[in-house]
Amino acid sequence: MALRIVASRPDPAIITLPWSVPLEEWGEPYVVPLPRGLSRHVVRIVRLGDRVFAVKETVEDIAFREYRLLRDLQRLNLPAVVPQGVVTGRVDVDGEELPTALLTEHLRFSLPYRSLFSHGLSHDSLPSLIDALVVLLVRLHLADFFWGDVSLSNVLFRRSAGGFAAYLVDAETGELRPSLSSSMREYDLTIATENVFAELLDLQASESLSYEVEAADIVELLSTRYRALWKELTAEEEFSAAEMWRIEQRIERLNDLGFDVDELDIVTDFDGDRVRIQPKVVEAGHHQRELQGLTGLHVEDDQARRLLNDIASFTAYRNLGREDRHLVANRWLDEGYEPIIAMIPAEAAGKLEPAEVFHEVLQHRWYLAERAGHDIDLFDAAADYIDTVLKKKPDEAITASPATVTPDA
Protein backbone atom coordinates (compact mmCIF):
# COMPACT_ATOMS: atom_id res chain seq x y z
CA MET A 1 0.00 0.00 0.00
CA ALA A 2 1.45 3.36 -1.04
CA LEU A 3 1.78 6.15 1.51
CA ARG A 4 -0.43 9.09 0.53
CA ILE A 5 -0.27 12.59 2.02
CA VAL A 6 -2.96 15.19 1.37
CA ALA A 7 -1.81 18.55 2.72
CA SER A 8 -3.01 22.14 2.45
CA ARG A 9 0.49 23.55 2.96
CA PRO A 10 2.87 20.76 1.94
CA ASP A 11 5.99 20.48 4.06
CA PRO A 12 8.48 17.97 2.58
CA ALA A 13 9.65 17.14 6.10
CA ILE A 14 6.30 15.44 6.80
CA ILE A 15 7.49 12.49 4.71
CA THR A 16 10.43 11.97 7.09
CA LEU A 17 8.20 11.16 10.06
CA PRO A 18 8.15 7.45 11.07
CA TRP A 19 4.80 6.61 9.50
CA SER A 20 5.56 2.86 9.61
CA VAL A 21 5.59 3.00 13.43
CA PRO A 22 2.36 3.11 15.51
CA LEU A 23 1.88 6.64 16.82
CA GLU A 24 1.87 5.55 20.48
CA GLU A 25 5.46 4.31 19.98
CA TRP A 26 6.80 7.61 18.64
CA GLY A 27 9.43 9.27 20.80
CA GLU A 28 12.55 11.36 20.44
CA PRO A 29 13.61 13.14 18.32
CA TYR A 30 10.09 13.67 16.97
CA VAL A 31 7.81 14.10 19.98
CA VAL A 32 8.12 17.34 21.97
CA PRO A 33 7.00 17.93 25.59
CA LEU A 34 3.97 20.20 25.25
CA PRO A 35 0.97 20.68 27.56
CA ARG A 36 -1.42 17.77 27.23
CA GLY A 37 -5.12 17.15 27.55
CA LEU A 38 -7.39 14.15 27.23
CA SER A 39 -8.32 12.55 23.90
CA ARG A 40 -10.20 9.46 22.79
CA HIS A 41 -7.50 8.91 20.14
CA VAL A 42 -3.75 8.32 20.22
CA VAL A 43 -2.18 11.76 19.70
CA ARG A 44 1.40 13.02 19.68
CA ILE A 45 2.83 16.50 19.22
CA VAL A 46 5.89 16.59 16.99
CA ARG A 47 8.39 19.17 15.81
CA LEU A 48 9.52 19.47 12.19
CA GLY A 49 12.14 22.17 11.89
CA ASP A 50 10.63 25.33 13.34
CA ARG A 51 7.05 24.06 13.05
CA VAL A 52 5.07 22.01 15.57
CA PHE A 53 2.17 19.70 14.65
CA ALA A 54 -0.38 17.60 16.48
CA VAL A 55 -0.76 14.14 14.91
CA LYS A 56 -3.89 12.10 15.63
CA GLU A 57 -4.62 8.52 14.58
CA THR A 58 -8.18 7.91 13.45
CA VAL A 59 -10.34 6.34 10.72
CA GLU A 60 -9.70 7.52 7.14
CA ASP A 61 -13.21 8.81 6.42
CA ILE A 62 -13.36 10.66 9.74
CA ALA A 63 -9.90 12.14 9.21
CA PHE A 64 -10.79 13.59 5.79
CA ARG A 65 -14.13 14.87 7.07
CA GLU A 66 -12.51 16.66 10.02
CA TYR A 67 -9.71 17.98 7.81
CA ARG A 68 -12.18 19.53 5.36
CA LEU A 69 -14.37 20.89 8.16
CA LEU A 70 -11.40 22.56 9.88
CA ARG A 71 -10.44 24.11 6.54
CA ASP A 72 -13.98 25.49 6.24
CA LEU A 73 -13.74 26.96 9.73
CA GLN A 74 -10.40 28.52 8.81
CA ARG A 75 -11.94 30.15 5.73
CA LEU A 76 -14.71 31.54 7.95
CA ASN A 77 -12.03 33.00 10.27
CA LEU A 78 -13.36 31.07 13.25
CA PRO A 79 -11.13 30.17 16.23
CA ALA A 80 -10.03 26.60 15.58
CA VAL A 81 -6.77 24.75 15.08
CA VAL A 82 -5.37 24.92 11.55
CA PRO A 83 -5.47 21.64 9.56
CA GLN A 84 -2.26 20.62 7.82
CA GLY A 85 -2.91 17.26 6.18
CA VAL A 86 -4.06 13.65 6.21
CA VAL A 87 -1.72 10.66 5.87
CA THR A 88 -3.16 7.37 4.58
CA GLY A 89 -1.68 4.09 3.34
CA ARG A 90 0.40 3.54 6.48
CA VAL A 91 1.77 0.03 7.10
CA ASP A 92 4.15 -1.28 9.74
CA VAL A 93 7.33 -3.29 9.12
CA ASP A 94 5.25 -6.50 8.91
CA GLY A 95 2.94 -5.04 6.27
CA GLU A 96 0.03 -4.59 8.70
CA GLU A 97 -2.18 -1.55 8.11
CA LEU A 98 -1.90 1.37 10.54
CA PRO A 99 -4.58 4.00 11.21
CA THR A 100 -4.87 7.16 9.14
CA ALA A 101 -3.24 10.24 10.67
CA LEU A 102 -4.64 13.77 10.80
CA LEU A 103 -2.15 16.63 11.20
CA THR A 104 -3.02 20.03 12.65
CA GLU A 105 -0.73 22.94 13.43
CA HIS A 106 0.01 23.36 17.12
CA LEU A 107 -1.44 26.58 18.52
CA ARG A 108 1.44 28.44 20.20
CA PHE A 109 1.01 29.46 23.83
CA SER A 110 -2.18 27.43 24.08
CA LEU A 111 -3.02 25.14 26.98
CA PRO A 112 -5.61 22.43 27.67
CA TYR A 113 -7.76 23.26 30.67
CA ARG A 114 -6.05 20.62 32.82
CA SER A 115 -2.66 22.21 32.23
CA LEU A 116 -4.04 25.61 33.23
CA PHE A 117 -4.98 24.21 36.62
CA SER A 118 -1.68 22.37 36.99
CA HIS A 119 0.01 25.74 36.30
CA GLY A 120 -1.72 27.21 39.32
CA LEU A 121 -4.97 28.57 37.89
CA SER A 122 -7.26 29.34 40.82
CA HIS A 123 -10.98 28.66 41.00
CA ASP A 124 -11.49 32.45 40.87
CA SER A 125 -10.49 32.30 37.19
CA LEU A 126 -13.17 29.75 36.31
CA PRO A 127 -15.71 32.40 35.19
CA SER A 128 -13.14 33.76 32.69
CA LEU A 129 -12.57 30.24 31.38
CA ILE A 130 -16.31 29.72 31.02
CA ASP A 131 -16.69 33.09 29.29
CA ALA A 132 -14.09 32.04 26.71
CA LEU A 133 -15.96 28.78 26.04
CA VAL A 134 -19.25 30.71 25.76
CA VAL A 135 -17.83 33.20 23.24
CA LEU A 136 -16.41 30.32 21.17
CA LEU A 137 -19.74 28.47 21.18
CA VAL A 138 -21.69 31.61 20.23
CA ARG A 139 -19.29 32.43 17.39
CA LEU A 140 -19.60 28.90 16.03
CA HIS A 141 -23.40 29.01 16.28
CA LEU A 142 -23.53 32.38 14.51
CA ALA A 143 -21.70 30.69 11.63
CA ASP A 144 -24.30 27.84 11.65
CA PHE A 145 -21.80 25.34 13.04
CA PHE A 146 -23.21 22.46 15.10
CA TRP A 147 -20.52 21.18 17.46
CA GLY A 148 -22.11 18.04 18.88
CA ASP A 149 -19.50 17.51 21.63
CA VAL A 150 -18.94 20.80 23.49
CA SER A 151 -16.51 20.36 26.36
CA LEU A 152 -13.44 21.86 27.97
CA SER A 153 -11.47 18.86 26.70
CA ASN A 154 -12.17 19.79 23.07
CA VAL A 155 -10.83 23.32 23.49
CA LEU A 156 -7.41 24.93 23.78
CA PHE A 157 -7.09 28.15 25.77
CA ARG A 158 -4.77 31.10 25.22
CA ARG A 159 -4.29 33.85 27.77
CA SER A 160 -5.78 37.18 26.70
CA ALA A 161 -5.33 40.32 28.80
CA GLY A 162 -5.87 38.47 32.06
CA GLY A 163 -8.70 36.37 30.63
CA PHE A 164 -8.75 33.63 28.02
CA ALA A 165 -9.55 33.00 24.37
CA ALA A 166 -10.84 29.56 23.39
CA TYR A 167 -10.10 27.59 20.19
CA LEU A 168 -11.90 24.53 18.86
CA VAL A 169 -9.46 21.63 18.78
CA ASP A 170 -11.67 18.65 17.90
CA ALA A 171 -14.26 18.99 15.11
CA GLU A 172 -14.90 15.26 14.68
CA THR A 173 -18.59 15.54 15.62
CA GLY A 174 -19.12 18.98 14.08
CA GLU A 175 -21.19 20.00 11.09
CA LEU A 176 -21.59 23.23 9.12
CA ARG A 177 -25.26 23.60 8.22
CA PRO A 178 -27.20 25.93 5.89
CA SER A 179 -28.90 27.24 9.04
CA LEU A 180 -28.75 26.22 12.68
CA SER A 181 -32.06 25.70 14.44
CA SER A 182 -32.68 26.83 18.02
CA SER A 183 -33.17 23.18 19.04
CA MET A 184 -29.67 22.30 17.77
CA ARG A 185 -28.21 25.25 19.66
CA GLU A 186 -30.02 24.09 22.79
CA TYR A 187 -28.66 20.57 22.27
CA ASP A 188 -25.11 21.92 22.08
CA LEU A 189 -25.72 23.98 25.22
CA THR A 190 -27.08 20.94 27.08
CA ILE A 191 -24.06 18.85 26.05
CA ALA A 192 -21.79 21.70 27.18
CA THR A 193 -23.32 21.87 30.66
CA GLU A 194 -23.24 18.09 31.10
CA ASN A 195 -19.62 17.71 29.94
CA VAL A 196 -18.28 20.71 31.86
CA PHE A 197 -20.06 19.52 35.02
CA ALA A 198 -18.35 16.12 34.73
CA GLU A 199 -14.97 17.71 33.93
CA LEU A 200 -15.13 19.95 36.99
CA LEU A 201 -15.96 16.99 39.23
CA ASP A 202 -13.03 15.13 37.68
CA LEU A 203 -10.72 18.05 38.47
CA GLN A 204 -11.92 18.00 42.06
CA ALA A 205 -11.40 14.25 42.31
CA SER A 206 -7.79 14.71 41.17
CA GLU A 207 -7.37 17.58 43.67
CA SER A 208 -6.62 20.06 40.85
CA LEU A 209 -9.67 22.14 41.78
CA SER A 210 -10.93 23.16 45.20
CA TYR A 211 -13.99 21.38 46.55
CA GLU A 212 -15.29 24.85 47.44
CA VAL A 213 -16.28 25.22 43.79
CA GLU A 214 -19.90 24.26 43.17
CA ALA A 215 -19.88 22.61 39.75
CA ALA A 216 -23.64 23.14 39.41
CA ASP A 217 -23.19 26.91 39.84
CA ILE A 218 -20.47 27.00 37.16
CA VAL A 219 -22.57 25.21 34.54
CA GLU A 220 -25.53 27.43 35.38
CA LEU A 221 -23.21 30.39 34.75
CA LEU A 222 -22.27 28.85 31.39
CA SER A 223 -25.91 28.56 30.35
CA THR A 224 -26.83 32.04 31.62
CA ARG A 225 -23.93 33.79 29.90
CA TYR A 226 -24.52 31.94 26.63
CA ARG A 227 -28.16 33.05 26.52
CA ALA A 228 -27.25 36.64 27.47
CA LEU A 229 -24.58 36.93 24.77
CA TRP A 230 -26.75 35.30 22.12
CA LYS A 231 -29.60 37.69 22.94
CA GLU A 232 -27.33 40.74 22.80
CA LEU A 233 -26.00 39.71 19.40
CA THR A 234 -29.21 38.59 17.72
CA ALA A 235 -32.31 39.88 19.52
CA GLU A 236 -34.77 42.28 17.93
CA GLU A 237 -35.01 45.70 19.56
CA GLU A 238 -37.96 48.07 19.16
CA PHE A 239 -38.06 51.78 20.01
CA SER A 240 -39.69 55.02 18.93
CA ALA A 241 -38.60 57.04 15.89
CA ALA A 242 -37.44 59.75 18.31
CA GLU A 243 -34.83 57.34 19.73
CA MET A 244 -32.77 56.66 16.60
CA TRP A 245 -29.63 57.15 18.70
CA ARG A 246 -30.32 53.68 20.08
CA ILE A 247 -29.16 52.17 16.78
CA GLU A 248 -25.68 53.59 17.35
CA GLN A 249 -25.87 52.56 21.01
CA ARG A 250 -26.63 48.96 20.02
CA ILE A 251 -23.70 48.93 17.60
CA GLU A 252 -21.39 50.32 20.29
CA ARG A 253 -22.49 47.62 22.75
CA LEU A 254 -21.70 44.95 20.18
CA ASN A 255 -18.32 46.57 19.46
CA ASP A 256 -17.56 46.55 23.20
CA LEU A 257 -18.17 42.80 23.14
CA GLY A 258 -15.63 42.52 20.31
CA PHE A 259 -18.11 42.04 17.47
CA ASP A 260 -18.59 44.00 14.25
CA VAL A 261 -22.02 44.62 12.74
CA ASP A 262 -21.87 44.08 9.01
CA GLU A 263 -25.59 44.52 8.39
CA LEU A 264 -28.67 45.72 10.26
CA ASP A 265 -32.27 44.87 9.43
CA ILE A 266 -34.20 48.11 10.14
CA VAL A 267 -38.00 48.07 9.88
CA THR A 268 -40.40 50.97 10.60
CA ASP A 269 -44.15 50.74 11.11
CA PHE A 270 -46.72 52.28 8.74
CA ASP A 271 -46.56 55.84 10.10
CA GLY A 272 -42.89 55.72 11.09
CA ASP A 273 -43.53 56.06 14.83
CA ARG A 274 -41.82 52.79 15.77
CA VAL A 275 -38.47 51.35 14.62
CA ARG A 276 -37.36 47.74 14.91
CA ILE A 277 -33.73 46.69 14.41
CA GLN A 278 -31.93 43.36 14.41
CA PRO A 279 -28.26 42.59 13.66
CA LYS A 280 -28.13 40.27 10.65
CA VAL A 281 -24.42 39.50 10.40
CA VAL A 282 -22.09 39.84 13.36
CA GLU A 283 -18.40 39.05 13.22
CA ALA A 284 -15.97 38.86 16.12
CA GLY A 285 -12.55 40.49 16.17
CA HIS A 286 -13.48 44.19 16.13
CA HIS A 287 -10.59 45.25 18.38
CA GLN A 288 -8.17 42.82 16.72
CA ARG A 289 -8.75 44.37 13.32
CA GLU A 290 -8.57 47.91 14.64
CA LEU A 291 -5.23 47.30 16.37
CA GLN A 292 -3.80 45.39 13.42
CA GLY A 293 -4.77 48.23 11.08
CA LEU A 294 -2.99 50.73 13.34
CA THR A 295 0.11 48.78 14.35
CA GLY A 296 0.33 45.52 12.41
CA LEU A 297 0.12 43.56 15.69
CA HIS A 298 -2.09 40.46 15.58
CA VAL A 299 -3.22 39.53 19.09
CA GLU A 300 -6.28 38.20 20.90
CA ASP A 301 -9.28 40.53 20.98
CA ASP A 302 -9.12 41.32 24.72
CA GLN A 303 -5.40 41.98 24.39
CA ALA A 304 -6.14 44.29 21.45
CA ARG A 305 -8.70 46.19 23.53
CA ARG A 306 -6.11 46.62 26.31
CA LEU A 307 -3.44 47.85 23.89
CA LEU A 308 -5.88 50.23 22.20
CA ASN A 309 -6.67 51.71 25.62
CA ASP A 310 -2.96 52.18 26.24
CA ILE A 311 -2.57 53.92 22.87
CA ALA A 312 -5.41 56.23 23.90
CA SER A 313 -3.64 56.98 27.21
CA PHE A 314 -0.37 57.54 25.34
CA THR A 315 -2.19 59.96 23.02
CA ALA A 316 -3.71 61.93 25.88
CA TYR A 317 -0.53 62.00 28.00
CA ARG A 318 1.53 63.43 25.14
CA ASN A 319 -1.26 65.72 23.91
CA LEU A 320 -1.30 64.07 20.48
CA GLY A 321 -5.06 64.17 19.98
CA ARG A 322 -4.77 66.17 16.77
CA GLU A 323 -2.12 63.92 15.23
CA ASP A 324 -2.91 61.21 12.68
CA ARG A 325 -3.90 58.10 14.66
CA HIS A 326 -1.62 55.81 12.64
CA LEU A 327 1.38 58.06 13.33
CA VAL A 328 0.56 58.10 17.05
CA ALA A 329 0.28 54.30 17.06
CA ASN A 330 3.71 54.03 15.43
CA ARG A 331 5.17 56.31 18.10
CA TRP A 332 3.55 54.13 20.77
CA LEU A 333 5.18 51.08 19.19
CA ASP A 334 8.60 52.74 18.97
CA GLU A 335 8.58 54.39 22.41
CA GLY A 336 6.62 51.89 24.51
CA TYR A 337 5.55 48.50 23.26
CA GLU A 338 8.63 47.33 21.33
CA PRO A 339 11.23 48.51 23.91
CA ILE A 340 9.28 46.71 26.66
CA ILE A 341 9.11 43.49 24.67
CA ALA A 342 12.83 43.78 23.92
CA MET A 343 13.49 43.73 27.69
CA ILE A 344 12.22 40.12 27.97
CA PRO A 345 15.29 37.89 28.48
CA ALA A 346 15.71 34.89 26.19
CA GLU A 347 15.13 32.42 29.02
CA ALA A 348 11.68 33.97 29.67
CA ALA A 349 10.55 34.19 26.05
CA GLY A 350 8.41 31.05 26.36
CA LYS A 351 6.50 32.20 29.43
CA LEU A 352 3.77 34.33 27.82
CA GLU A 353 2.96 35.89 24.48
CA PRO A 354 4.48 39.40 24.04
CA ALA A 355 1.07 41.13 24.08
CA GLU A 356 0.17 39.32 27.32
CA VAL A 357 3.49 40.37 28.86
CA PHE A 358 2.79 44.00 27.97
CA HIS A 359 -0.70 43.76 29.48
CA GLU A 360 0.74 42.32 32.70
CA VAL A 361 3.42 45.03 32.81
CA LEU A 362 0.68 47.68 32.65
CA GLN A 363 -1.21 45.89 35.40
CA HIS A 364 1.95 45.51 37.48
CA ARG A 365 2.70 49.22 37.04
CA TRP A 366 -0.73 50.07 38.44
CA TYR A 367 -0.16 47.87 41.50
CA LEU A 368 3.26 49.41 42.14
CA ALA A 369 1.88 52.94 41.78
CA GLU A 370 -0.99 52.21 44.16
CA ARG A 371 1.43 50.83 46.73
CA ALA A 372 3.90 53.71 46.32
CA GLY A 373 1.27 56.44 46.17
CA HIS A 374 2.74 58.00 43.03
CA ASP A 375 3.21 57.22 39.33
CA ILE A 376 5.81 54.62 38.35
CA ASP A 377 7.91 54.76 35.19
CA LEU A 378 6.78 52.15 32.66
CA PHE A 379 10.29 50.75 32.15
CA ASP A 380 10.96 50.55 35.89
CA ALA A 381 7.69 48.66 36.27
CA ALA A 382 8.66 46.33 33.40
CA ALA A 383 12.04 45.55 34.94
CA ASP A 384 10.45 44.78 38.31
CA TYR A 385 7.74 42.63 36.68
CA ILE A 386 10.29 40.59 34.70
CA ASP A 387 12.44 39.93 37.78
CA THR A 388 9.70 39.28 40.33
CA VAL A 389 6.86 37.78 38.27
CA LEU A 390 7.67 36.71 34.73
CA LYS A 391 10.80 34.69 35.44
CA LYS A 392 8.89 32.61 38.00
CA LYS A 393 6.09 31.64 35.61
CA PRO A 394 6.10 28.22 33.89
CA ASP A 395 6.80 28.07 30.17
CA GLU A 396 3.59 28.01 28.13
CA ALA A 397 5.14 27.79 24.66
CA ILE A 398 6.83 24.44 25.35
CA THR A 399 6.62 22.73 28.69
CA ALA A 400 6.83 19.29 30.19
CA SER A 401 3.67 17.46 31.23
CA PRO A 402 2.69 14.15 32.79
CA ALA A 403 3.42 11.29 30.42
CA THR A 404 0.28 9.51 31.52
CA VAL A 405 -2.00 11.99 29.77
CA THR A 406 -2.55 12.20 26.03
CA PRO A 407 -2.49 15.51 24.11
CA ASP A 408 -5.52 16.87 22.29
CA ALA A 409 -5.41 17.21 18.51
Q: What is the pLDDT of residue 76?
A: 87
User: Whole-model pTM?
Assistant: 0.73
Check pLDDT > 90 for residue 259.
Answer: no
List Cβ neighbours of 396 (8 Å cut-off, separation of 6 or more). Answer: 35, 109, 111, 119, 159, 350, 351, 352
CA distance 358 to 333: 12
| DSSP letters for 150-215 | --GGGEEEEEETTEEEEEE---TT-EE-SS--HHHHHHHHHHHHHHHHHHHHHHHHTTSS-TTS-H
How many helices (H) and strands (E) would you count in the chain?
Answer: 12, 13
Residues linked to residue 237 through DSSP beta bridges, in sequence order: 277
Least confident of 58-62, 279-283, 297-301, 331-335: 279-283
Check pLDDT > 60 for residue 281.
Answer: no
Q: What is the pLDDT of residue 402?
A: 37
Topology alike, domains 4-106 and 111-234? no
The CATH label, of 3.40.50.720, 3.30.465.10, 3.40.50.300, 1.10.510.10, for the domain at 111-234 is 1.10.510.10
Phi (first) and psi of residue 72, to 5 degrees: -65, -40
CB 3 within 8 A of CB 87: yes
The CATH label, of 2.40.128, 3.30.200, 3.30.710, 1.25.40, for the domain at 4-106 is 3.30.200
Mean pLDDT of 274-282: 62
Task: Label the pairing between strands 100-105 and 145-146.
Answer: unpaired
Q: What is the pLDDT of residue 83?
A: 92
Q: List Cα–Cα distances, 101 to 22, 32, 90, 205, in angstroms.
A: 10, 18, 9, 33
Report residue 264's pLDDT band, with 50, 70 and 90 as the boundaries: low
The H or E element that residue 276 is part of is strand 274-284
Check pLDDT > 70 for residue 273.
Answer: no
Domain boundaries in the chain? Answer: 4-106, 111-234, 237-284, 298-392
Check pLDDT > 70 for residue 200.
Answer: yes
